[in-house]
Amino acid sequence: MTHGSLTIVGTGITLIAQITSEAEAWITSADKTFFLVMHPLAEQWMLELNPRAESLSRFYTPGRDRAEVYRDIADCVLAAVRAGHTVCAAFYGHPGVFVSPTHDMVRQARAEGYPVRMLPGISAEDCLFADLDLDPGVQGCQSYEASDFLIRPRRFDPATPLILWQVGVIGYFDVIDPSLDPAKGLAALEATLRRSYPAEHQITLYEAALLPTSDPTITHIRLDQLPLATITPLATLYIPPVAAPAVDEAMLESLDNRR
């Protein structure tokens, strides 16, 4: 009996430009390749790499609960693994970052004894670091999904950079509808952030470039302008520090190895 296996890969955010040769090799050579990408040109490109590849976008029916969609995706991919195939599942960006079904696949396939690997890809966060010239090694970095940030309050540090993901779909847990109005969620987010930042604090709405010929979308606004901002479901919010973090002089002196 042929024993199935699962390899999960990322295609990067920007079409073609950000995929690794290792990921491309798995997409091309697998018995069964499944994919979920963000742009029609990306779908066309995936089929050029492997004409037998199958899109997982068919599970995204408007109005469906996203958790149900993720379960269907995982079940579809795992069925091919159980049938004894060498399976590749390709997702845009990094396959382990904001891709819930991949983690379900990994846990379930490993529990059933199948070989599993996940290969990294360039994520939207990697693009943000480059496009906004942000180095998380300088002042650290805090990163939260926006709805989760609001419904599970965190003790965060306004002196450290803050990244909030999916600010365009706050409180919306179904398959994304183009008619979605983000204003209510943005107003709730602005009210929460105003407890730690002044109204005039400059924040940045960001979207990575999907095509090599396009530029990222970078919009700087005041915090109090957030509820009226025009954004898409792909938008990410970057909030720079409101002040430099304090230095513990006693600790600094005790750690100074020049003494």
Active site residues: 66, 70, 92
Residue 3 tokens read as 């024993």
d(CA 182, CA 190): 12
**Contact by Cβ (8 Å): 144, 210:** no
In angstroms, the CA 144 to CA 165 distance is: 6
Buried b (16+ CB within 10 A) or exposed e, 193-214: beeebeeebebbbbbbbbeeee
Q: Do 105 and 70 touch, CB atoms closer than 8 A?
A: no
Beta-strand relationship, 54-55 and 86-91: unpaired
Q: Which residues have C-beta within 8 Å of that of residue 66, sequence separation ≥ 6?
A: 100, 173, 174, 175
The two structure tokens encoding residue 231: 């954004």
Distance CA 213, CA 218 (A): 16
Q: What pairing do the DSSP bridges indicate for beta strands 5-10 and 116-118?
A: parallel
Q: How far apart are the first and last CA of the chain?
A: 66
